[in-house]
Structure 1
Amino acid sequence: MTAHRLSMAGKVGFTLGDYASNLYWQSVSIFLLFFYTDAVGLSAATAGLIYMIASIVDALADPIMGSIADRTRTSRGRYRPYILFGCVPLGLSFVLLYWRPPFEGLLLTLWMMMSHIVFRFAYTAVTIPYTSLNARLTDNSDERSTLAGWRMTFGVLAALTISYFTYPLVGMLGNGNAANGYTYAAAVFAVIATAIYPLVYAITCEPAELPNEEPRLTLGGYWRGLAPNRAFWVLVAATVVASICTFALGKSILYYFKYYLHDEAAARFALAAMAVSGLAIIPGWVWLTKSIGKRNAWLAAVAWALVMLAIFQAFDFRSALSMTIWLVAWSVGSLGFAMTFWSMLPDTVEYGEWTSGARTESFIFGLFQFFLKAALGIGAGLFGWLLQHVGYVANTDQSPETLAGIKAIMVWMPGAGVFLAGLIMLAYPLKRGTHEAIVEELNARMPSPDA
């Protein structure tokens, strides 16, 4: 049986891994597409295509990695060895991701795509086992909300680090060459992340395997165990549609500041402000999920996001300050989505075990990552195509029609996704108190140690 309550040291030690992981993820989420178009010189459509293909190829590996991790048994635990031994290849692949080779044309495109795929595989090998520990460390739903809050806090601190320091490092280390600057900046972040993962490994105590622990399933067994898990499939569907459509807003921020506001440097402070505000916002979402339940908290995030998008559509923000204020307000809803689904996902493990009798925690996390990454990849491809469609050309003044098109992308794509995600979440079966009852029933099913 997993622990119900974790010590503060255990919570911080485990969730510190999200700072390391998010140094990579936040950089890729915020800067990589911009790096492709404005530093490497790829067209927006090509950049989006690379991002989409790499994300989908990576996504295909996630459930496989999940099943491998589920079947792993070592004296160091199921999941911890991947964190320890995968961190160095991950750091090296991140530097490679931001290196522009002396190629042009098709060869350059293929190189950037392959380096992206290599990074994604290395990231999956570490982060699927890491996130799977969520369900193994505790089976208490409120404790998982607290863990999700700590994870989000460290993720926000990583976002602050990336947002605030990337531009200065690129300028200082690149000596006028933006592409080189991104390579050296990536190396700095990779060193920090690589140093953190062994600490997470050393501090985190993975529960020992029990004599009656669930058997190692075949791949077909995983699918049979997962098929009746309605909680998982509803969460997947809601997250996929939200991720595909909200991707456009996050990726548009750098373009909006550079071309709409003509103040590229201010984007650094806007992104940092969003990250800092998250330190105050996340505890509020933790409290709300415990107070009204996770499904209702998700729906509250939907309502907030739709109101913010309506405000953005109604008003023309022409100053960096007004846009920054709006982005901070928008991040209240976006952080609500992120906090809530990472809190919900471990609960679907017990729901699946309750419905099918099979516990497939790492496969669930891997498959969820598959859908999430595929959604983000589709969102990237769609965003790149739309950016090209509205007439975007890197490092030139954009036409009024192009600027209007960028803003339309930022409003209508997220609006559609958020609205659909809210409708889908109405079908989520784990209402407040349901998960606790399921855990009690599962504990009652377990044979006694004397049996």
Structure 2
Amino acid sequence: MNNEKIHIKEKIGYGLGDTASNLFFQSFMLFLLYFYTDVFGIPAAAAGTMFLVTRIWDSVNDPLMGILSDRTNTKWGKFRPYILWLAIPFGIIGVLTFTTPDWSVASKIVYAYITYTLMMMVYTAINIPYSALMGVVSSNPIQRTSFSQYRFIFAFAGAFIVQGITLPLVQQFGGNDDSVVIAEQVQNEIVITEKGTGTSKIELEATVPGEEPVEGKISLCVLTPEMFAEADTTSGLLTLQKGFEKKTVIVADYIEGVDLGKAQLKVSVVNERKGFMWAMVVMATLAVIMFLITFATTKERVQPAKEQKTSLKDDIKDLAANKPWWILFVLGIFTLSYVSVRNGAIMYYFKYYVGNDALASGFMIAGTIATIASITLTEWLSKTFGKKRAYIYSMILTSVLTVAFYFVGKDDIIAMFVLQVLISFVFGPTAPLVFAMYTDAADYSEWKTGRRATGLVMSASTMAQKFGWTIGGALAGWLLAAFGFKANVEQADGALTGIQLMMSLIPAAGSVLAAIFMLFYKLDEKFLGEVEQELKLRRVKD
């Protein structure tokens, strides 16, 4: 195979592009629904419908962007220009998505539809070319696997950043802000006085004398001014915790006079509207800088044959006949569904099954660190076993460990964390392996048809990602309802068992199916070596 040398600086520069993308993609996955319902004041049902409608259009939009980028020709190449042109719009629209004008509920919903749709469109417009760029940085499959490895190391670094700094930034930018409400302690009451418009979160910390270390925190969300007097306090629970024993006191139904008995109180206000907006300004600034570094440090080395025809009909026909592409497309849906169901269950697992939701953040971060560590082995796994076998082995181990999670008791905290680290470690390489395989599918299509449509082929990666995200997210909600889950109450045994299943056996079914499906993928390393050599000869003749 081609022993082309590419400097590590270019691979790091390419990887930073996925860090930039994930600063918003992960923010959407972790915080956007909460932001819409609790901060912006949109009904949950309306937000859910909006996600479904906009994601369906967004998934269809992916191949259109692939077709457009394949037909782009500039002095910078086909795909890099979009990273340059769209970096700043990406950041601006990302901030607007987390901005909250003081409008009526109906107007807010319209605003959310517009900004979220625009955000997903610009995300597609910059990420399809970004993904396609990996297919043309080198003609060598091993080099492309190396690029994919760097890409996903930096992608999960983005996830780590979002998990670690978003809420502290919200607290920092929105903390001690009395522009919306004033919250004061008057003896054993918290008196909340309306001052401005919008929403703020009231945080109460309480300690009980003589029972150290007993401490709890609650958050009461003050809604828009017209709803102020009837503010919903169903989440207003004061939890006093000592070890794993909990005592819960329901606060008064009217939040202007909260009697917390003998507890010593500390009250603060967090203007989450302001906090989230400025937190996203930080994310957007970082994303723009990283995208510009990606543009400046990468190079397109693989070009289609000069006489290649670019008929849209032929491109779609070629794609429809590309069996490896279809296999990878379905695998992407299985993989993201696995991630969506399992990750979507984490908060419920720790809040209701374990009884300590404070452990959830550490649980997720431990998994992310293990994932980043394992992705560094992707290139070695590809060289040692080949991409196909490495993927199958990783998915089999993932399935076994995920099934084992079902048998962990609610007090076995160490076992939970150990299994999470192991699952994340063996699952981590599967994403960069599959994305590298997409570039192989583009080579296969060119070898078979004489035409190359890298952007269209790579559009399947993000399209499958979004379909899996949508299906997995919907499935998680449907499963909770089917198991009898009810928010903010003690769960019945059936609901607790269901939450366990969502962390174990149910996602394991998806990983097993993915491993089985990969058996039908025929592009092994020997065959790809022959394809690479023949394509190289064709390009020399051209």
TM-score (norm 2): 0.76
Which amino acid in structure 2 is aligned with residue 52 of structure 1? L
Residue 384 of structure 1 corresponds to 477
2:293 matches 1:199: yes
Question: Which amino acid counterpart does residue 150 of structure 2 have in structure 1?
Answer: W
Superposed displacement of residue 362, structure 1: 0.6
Q: CA deviation at 1:48?
A: 4.3
User: How far apart are the structure 2 equivalents of 1:19 and 1:359?
Assistant: 28
Identity, % of aligned positions: 30
- Measure how far apart 1:424 and its partner are: 1.0
Change (3 A) 1:184 1:446: closer
Assess, with a 3 A threshold, how the Cα gap between structure 1 residues 85 and 170 changes in structure 2: closer, same or farther: same
Q: Which moved further from structure 2: 2-11 or 20-29? A: 2-11
Question: 5+ unaligned residues in a row in structure 2: which ranges?
Answer: 176-269
Give the secondary structure class of the aligned counterpart of 1:5: coil
Residues 138 and 302, structure 2, Cα contact 8 Å, conserved in 1 = no
- When residues 342 and 367 of structure 1 are mapped into structure 2, their CA distance, relative to the original with a 3 A threshold, is closer
Partner of 1:399: 491
With 240-249 and 151-160 compared, the bigger mean Cα shift is at 240-249
Distance 2:389 2:414 in 1: 32
Distance 1:22 1:163 in 2: 11
Give, as a single letter, the amino acid of the residue that structure 2 aligns with 1:349.
A
Deviation at 1:393, TM superposition (A): 5.2
Conservation of the 8 A alpha-carbon contact between 2:373 and 2:425: no
1:32 aligns with 2:32: yes
How far apart in 2 are the matches of 1:108 and 1:299?
46
Q: 2:362 aligns with which of 269, 273, 281?
A: 269
2:531 to 410, 415, 438: 438
| Counterparts of 2:486 and 2:283, CA distance in 1 | 30
Once the two structures are TM-superposed, the CA of residue 137 in structure 1 deviates from its matched residue by 0.7
Q: Cα offset for 1:101?
A: 4.6
Supply the AA of the counterpart residue of 1:89.
P
Residues 195-246 of structure 1: per-residue CA shift (max 9 Å, x gap): 2211221222233857x43535132121122222111111112222332243
For residues 268-315 of structure 1, the C-alpha deviation after alignment (integer angstroms, 9 at most, x for no partner) is: 322222222233211223311211111111111211111122111111
Report which of the two structures shows the higher radius of gyration computed on alpha carbons: 2
Inter-partner Cα distance in structure 1 for 2:413 and 2:106? 37
State the distance in 2 between where 1:27 and 1:262 align.
25
3-state SS in 2 of match to 1:73: coil
Q: Which has the higher contact order (CA 8 A, sep 6+)?
A: 1
Cα distance in structure 1, aligned partners of 2:379 and 2:530: 21
Give the counterpart letter for 2:5 in structure 1. Answer: R
Number of the residue aligned with 1:188:
282
| Counterparts in 2 of 1:273 and 1:327: CA distance versus 1, 3 Å | same
Q: How many residues align structurally?
A: 446
Give the letter for the 1:240 counterpart.
Answer: I
Q: For residues 105 and 500 of structure 2, what CA distance do their matches in structure 1 show?
A: 30
Alignment root-mean-square deviation, CA: 2.6
User: Is 1:242 paired with 2:328?
Assistant: no
Matches within 5 A, 1:183-332: 183-207=277-301, 212-213=305-306, 215=308, 217-318=310-411, 321-332=414-425
- Amino acid across the alignment from 2:282: V
Give me the whole-angstrom Cα distance separating, in 1, the residues matched to 2:107 and 2:489: 28
Preserved CA contact (<8 Å) 2:406 2:503: no
Change (3 A) 1:41 1:397: farther
Gaps of at least 5 residues in structure 1 are none
Greater share of helix residues, 1 or 2?
1
Check the 8 A contact 1:246/1:418 in 2, yes or no. no
Q: Give me the TM-score of the superposition, normalised by structure 1.
A: 0.90
Whole-angstrom CA distance in 1 between matches of 2:106 and 2:416? 38
- Say which SS state the counterpart of residue 520 (structure 2) adopts: coil
The answer (yes or no) to whether the contact 2:353–2:496 under 8 Å persists in 1 is: yes
Instruction: Measure, in 2, the Cα distance between the counterparts of 1:341 and 1:402.
Output: 35
Higher strand share: 2
Cα distance in 2 for partners of 1:215, 1:317 equals: 61
Q: SS of the residue aligned with 2:429?
A: helix
User: Hey, what does 1:354 align to over in structure 2?
Assistant: 447
Matched, 1:157 2:157: yes
